[in-house]
Structure 1
């Protein structure tokens, strides 16, 4: 089983995030959306609110697991046996 991890703060989740999750499912059997709890960042939404927003936004997508994480991304990736980390590109002007 090929597993991908899509990390981010998702503050808030956008249509672009959801599109990338959907596209990732073409490459992976399972995608973990790893919602970061970074004490150095000061998100507008709480971790619980962000988790719920991602759950609602991704409810139509199968084989997607939404999970908050603390600490290092590499530890999350190892814990779930992921094969790749999924990253999007930001538009830069």
Structure 2
């Protein structure tokens, strides 16, 4: 069984993330979406909320493709998480050259830690290349329309969060 780990904070999950999930499903039998517990980033949504959003948004693609998709919270090294879930590859989404430079360093370090786990880069579709969770949250916080960047359910969660 081909298993991949797609890690991220997913705070919140965006249409860009969903695009990568959809395309990763064509490569593997099982996709583990690693929801990072990253205290340094100070996520807006709790871990439980982020996992629930990921599960809800990924369910459609699991049903449509037959790929098993699992949300898996993690706080350890990415390479250790990949080992824990039995992943042979790590999937990373790229939006721009700046993403590649950072990801290139990560791949190099991860290859030293475990050269049996490959990293696969998937370019975001053109309409999703500018989407970043950080920017989505900022637009939503300032009352802007983020419906082009997130699904209706995530848009609703953002609206509720900022209505408080």
**TM-score category, normalised to shorter length:** over 0.9
For residues 79 and 67 of structure 1, the distance between their equivalents in structure 2, rounded to whole angstroms, comes to 10
More helix by share: 2
Q: Which residue of the partner structure matches residue 84 of structure 2?
A: 79
Distance 2:53 2:46 in 1: 11
* TM-score, normalization by structure 1: 0.92
Show structure 1 runs of 5+ residues with no match: none
> CA offset at residue 35 of structure 1?
0.2
> Structure with the greater relative contact order (CA < 8 A, sep ≥ 6): 1 or 2?
1
Q: Which digits, 9 at most, give the CA deviation of each residue in 1:41-87, with x for residues without a partner?
A: 21111111101111111121221111111111111101122111100
Partner of 2:26: 26
How far, CA to CA, are the matches of 2:23 and 2:49 in structure 1? 24
State whether structure 2 residue 43 is matched by structure 1 residue 43. yes
Aligned length: 93
Looking at CA atoms only, which structure, 1 or 2, has the larger radius of gyration? 2
For structure 2, the residue ranges without an aligned partner over 5 or more in a row are: 63-67, 99-129, 131-164
Query: RMSD of the TM alignment (CA)?
Result: 1.4
Separation of aligned partners in 2, 1:80 and 1:31: 10
**Which contiguous aligned blocks of 4+ residues in structure 1 show a shift greater than 2 angstroms?**
90-93
